Amino acid sequence: MTFGKFALGRNFVARATYDSDLIEFLTAFAKSSEIAAASFTAIGALKYAKLGFYDQEKHEYMETPFSDPQEIACCIGNISIKEGEPFVHAHAVLADRYGNTKGGHLLEGRVFAAEVHVTELLGEKQLVRKKDEITGLALWDL
Amino acid sequence: MTFGKFALGRNFVARATYDSDLIEFLTAFAKSSEIAAASFTAIGALKYAKLGFYDQEKHEYMETPFSDPQEIACCIGNISIKEGEPFVHAHAVLADRYGNTKGGHLLEGRVFAAEVHVTELLGEKQLVRKKDEITGLALWDL
Amino acid sequence: MTFGKFALGRNFVARATYDSDLIEFLTAFAKSSEIAAASFTAIGALKYAKLGFYDQEKHEYMETPFSDPQEIACCIGNISIKEGEPFVHAHAVLADRYGNTKGGHLLEGRVFAAEVHVTELLGEKQLVRKKDEITGLALWDL
pLDDT of res. A129 = 98
| Amino acid, res. A51 | L
Q: Mean pLDDT of residues grouped by 10 in chain B (142 residues)? A: 93 98 98 98 98 98 97 98 98 98 98 98 95 97 94
Q: How far apart are CA B20 and CA B26, in angstroms?
A: 10
**A57 phi and psi angles, rounded to 5 deg:** -100, -45
Helix (H, G, I), strand (E, B) or coil at A35: coil
Kindly give, in sequence order, each residue whose CB lies less than 8 Å from that of residue C37, ignoring residues fewer than 6 positions away: B13, C6, C78, C79, C80, C81, C120, C121, C122, C123, C126, C127
Q: How far apart are CA B37 and CA B14, in angstroms?
A: 16
Query: How far, in Å, are A12, B74, B138, C140 from residue B115 at the CA level?
Result: 24, 11, 27, 8
Query: Is residue A131 less than 8 Å (CB to CB) from chain B?
Result: no
Q: Is the pLDDT of residue C1 over 90?
A: no
Query: Is residue C67 less than 8 Å (CB to CB) from chain B?
Result: no
∠ CA A128-C88-B35, rounded to 5° = 80
Query: Is residue A62 less than 8 Å (CB to CB) from chain B?
Result: no
State the smallest CA–CA distance between residue A140 and chain C in angstroms.
Answer: 7
Model confidence pLDDT, tens digit, residues B104-137:
999 999 999 999 999 999 998 899 999 999 999 9
Closest CA to B56 of B136, B118, B110: B136
Query: Is residue C8 less than 8 Å (CB to CB) from chain B?
Result: yes
Model confidence pLDDT, tens digit, residues A29-76:
999 999 999 999 999 999 999 999 999 999 999 999 999 999 999 999
Residue C81 Cα to chain centre, angstroms: 13
Q: Is the pLDDT of residue A3 over 90?
A: yes
Q: Which helix (H) or strand (E) holds A49?
A: strand A38-55
Partners of C21 on chain A (C-beta within 8 Å) are none
CB pair distance less than 8 Å for A41 and C41 = yes
CB pair distance less than 8 Å for C73 and A103 = yes
CB pair distance less than 8 Å for C91 and B99 = no
**Which of A35, A74, A106, A116 to probe the B interface (max B CBs under 10 A)?**
A74
Query: Is residue A138 less than 8 Å (CB to CB) from chain B?
Result: no
Instruction: Say if residues A14 and B2 touch (Cβ distance below 8 Å).
Output: yes
| Amino acid, res. A26 | L
Query: Is residue C7 less than 8 Å (CB to CB) from chain A?
Result: no
Q: How far apart are CA A137 and CA B3, in angstroms?
A: 31
Instruction: Say if residues C113 and A137 touch (Cβ distance below 8 Å).
Output: yes
Q: Say if strands A38-55 and A60-66 run parallel, antiparallel, or are unpaired.
A: antiparallel
CB nearest C3 (choices: B14, B18, B95) = B14
| Amino acid, res. C91 | H
**Does the model's pTM come out above 0.80?**
yes
- ipTM comes to 0.97
Model confidence pLDDT, tens digit, residues C27-82:
999 999 999 999 999 999 999 999 999 999 999 999 999 999 999 999 999 999 99
Instruction: Say if residues A16 and A92 touch (Cβ distance below 8 Å).
Output: no
